[in-house]
Amino acid sequence: MTHPIVPVRLYVLIFGALVALTVLTVLASLYDLGGGRLHYANAIVAVTIAVTKAALVVLYFMHLRYSPRLTWVFLGAGAFWMVILLVLVMADFLTRSWLPIATWGG
């Protein structure tokens, strides 16, 4: 099986993007982005940056971009399974206040 020849310049650019996104994550953590209703905006920004960095690593450093389609199918299946798990965890977390808290002795 032949592998594509990837120029070193591309790796350097991706590395620079990863470093810049890391700096952006640190800078975003220094500010309160969600005053008022959107109190979890910092988490949304941090997760968005983290997913972007993970995508860059998987696509370029793990060579998924140049992989056969079957590898993409397995990536999609894993991502779908992670979404299922996150939905179930969030459903549990968000509905915990629906049940009364039992106390000892009354």
Name the residue ranges covered by the structural domains of the chain: 8-98
Q: How confident is the model at residue 97 (pLDDT cuts 50, 70, 90)?
A: confident
pLDDT of residue 1: 61
DSSP 8-state class, residue 101:
P
Spatial CA neighbour of 12 closest among 20, 3, 4, 24: 20
**Residue 48 one-letter amino acid:** T
Spatial CA neighbour of 46 closest among 56, 32, 63: 32
Query: What does the radius of gyration of the chain's CA atoms come to, in whole angstroms?
Result: 20
Give the tens place of pLDDT for each residue, 45-63: 999 999 999 999 999 999 9
- C-alpha distances in Å from residue 75, one per residue of 38, 53, 56: 32, 16, 14
Q: How confident is the model at residue 40 (pLDDT cuts 50, 70, 90)?
A: confident
Run of H or E including 91: helix 69-94
pLDDT of residue 72 exceeding 90: yes
Query: What pTM value is reported for the model?
Result: 0.75
Residues contacting residue 48 through CB under 8 Å, at least 6 positions apart: none
